[in-house]
Amino acid sequence: MAKAALTFEKLFLVTEAAAMVRVSPWTIWAKLKNGELLRTKVGGRTVIRESELHKLIIDQPVEPKKLRASQARPLSGTILS
């Protein structure tokens, strides 16, 4: 019987994770605290699995930016009646 090869997931320190997703380390700490991200401890250090970062990126809905009436402009070539 063949043994299955072990594969290890990449682990990132909080500062590395923040740099990867372009947020501040404080944002990562807040998401760890409220349970949006799961942490792993290695040698007393808090690390974040790569799959957790993927969840953070994928699960974030993008909402369209709302413009005030003063910022809205008609599309070019539009005829206003």
Q: What is the pLDDT of residue 38?
A: 92
Residues in the chain predicted with pLDDT less than 50, given as ranges, are none
In whole angstroms, how far apart are CA 25 and each of 12, 15, 21, 28, 29? 12, 5, 10, 5, 6
Report pLDDT for 60.
67
Question: Strand, coil or helix: what is 36?
Answer: coil
Report pLDDT digits (tens) over 47-59: 999 999 988 887 6
